[in-house]
Amino acid sequence: MECKVHVAVAVAILIVGAGTASAIETITFPNRIGQVSFPHKKHQDALGQCRGCHEKGPGKIDGFDKVLAHGKGCKGCHEAMKRGPVLCKGCHGGG
């Protein structure tokens, strides 16, 4: 019985740990009006989870493009949280 409890605890720790994968520090998106450097780890640390952006799982954001970034994605989240840049120069060109 005691062995089963230890195994269950070990499995629980592994499952919880899997959800807190280390984040890429910064992601850079090339762009004709100025590259966008996205501080990914800073966002993950501030939000405390991944599902807010990675709704369908880790690693990718379905349909991420200019429309999403300027809509409900980056800019929309910044407006809703009243934090972060919402003007062009705030993201483009290293601003």
How many structural domains comprise the chain? 1
Q: Which of 42, 35, 7 is nearest to 91 (CA)?
A: 35
CATH number of the domain enclosing 29: 3.90.10.10
40 is known to lie in a ligand binding site: yes
91 is known to lie in a ligand binding site: no
50 is known to lie in a ligand binding site: yes
Q: Is 57 left (phi over 0), alpha (psi -120 to 50) or beta?
A: left
Q: pTM score, two decimals?
A: 0.65
92 is known to lie in a ligand binding site: no
DSSP 7: H
The CA-based angle 88-59-23, given to 5 degrees, is 75
Distances from the Cα of 91 to the Cα of 16, 31, 50, 52, angstroms: 33, 11, 21, 20
Q: Tell me which residue range forms the domain holding 57.
A: 24-91
Position 6 pLDDT exceeds 70: no
Mean pLDDT of 26-47: 91
Position 52 pLDDT exceeds 90: no
**Size (the chain), residues:** 95
